[in-house]
Amino acid sequence: LRFGFPEVVLGEPKTVEQLLGIVATLVERKQTVLVTRLQPDKAEALLAAHPKGEYHAVARIFHLKQGKPKAGRVAVVTAGTSDIPVAEEAVLTAQAMGATVTRVYDVGVAGIHRLLRRREEIQSAHAAVVVAGMEGALASAVGGLVGIPVVAVPTSVGYGANFGGVSALLAMVNSCASNVATMNIDNGFGGGFYAALISRTRGQR
């Protein structure tokens, strides 16, 4: 519980039996449960056993709340509509950690004015998650606009020389904005977790 939060369970490679066992243990210990990258059919089995849980299909997350964790404010920003599943994974993770989340979606650099109009909303958060595929330029644009830490999540959205997200990953790692740090490709969970962690005030930790 080093984060005042249990280790999150990666659902994708586990069997239903393994998942039922793990979730039962956590529930017994009165801990919050978060299962990520969970396929719909396995989610049904978890919901049947734990009717208080919730499954978010777009984000592919199963969540069973226990207690009330507290964190600060997080903004989740996306370039296009195809990035939304990864962004929602970030949103739900940050919320599960107790953060208040503002969604700022579909503000990619090819239409920079949409982003400029939303600047205040992002700046008023304690940390921003920026989710973008293709050339990943949004992370630098947001980093240059606001004075808070930006957690960049490259996505595999695109085709051809995007190499499954490598183009966006490189753009983010090479960002000329100094307030940008980077997560793995499609790692919405990581982005939401890290931003929520930053957002906690000392009292909250």
Ligand X SMILES: Nc1ncnc2c1ncn2[C@@H]1O[C@H](COP(=O)(O)O)[C@@H](O)[C@H]1O
- Contacts to ligand X by CB under 6 A: 7-10, 36-37, 80-81, 110, 176, 178, 187, 189-190
The CB-of-51 to a copy of itself minimum distance in angstroms stands at 27
* Binds 3: which of ligand X, a copy of itself, Mg ion, none (CB < 5-8 Å by kind): a copy of itself
Please state, in angstroms and rounded to a whole number, the distance separating the CA atoms of residues 44 and 104. 30
Could you list the residues that contact Mg ion (CB under 5 A)?
A: 175, 180, 190
Q: Between residues 97 and 127, which has the closer beta carbon with respect to ligand X?
A: 97
In degrees rounded to 5, what are phi and psi of residue 148? Answer: -105, 165
The 10 Å CB-count burial string (b at 16+, else e) for 3-21 is eebbebbebeebebeebbe
Q: How far is the CB of 183 from Mg ion (least distance, A)?
A: 5
Three state DSSP letters for 110-156: HHHHHHHHCHHHHHCCCEEEEEECCCCCHHHHHHHHCCCCEEEEECC
- Which residues, 57 to 116, sit near a copy of itself by CB under 8 A? 79-82, 108-112, 116
Looking at the Cβ atoms of 61 and 171, the one nearer to a copy of itself is 171
Q: Which does 120 bind (CB under 5 to 8 A by kind): a copy of itself, Mg ion, ligand X, none?
A: none
Based on CB atoms, which residue is closest to ligand X, 10 or 116? 10
The verdict on 16 binding a copy of itself (CB under 8 A) reads no
Asked whether 122 and 78 are in contact (CB, 8 A), the reply is no
Distances (CA, A) of 74 to 32, 87, 128, 149: 20, 12, 6, 10
Asked if residue 161 binds a copy of itself (CB under 8 A), the reply is yes
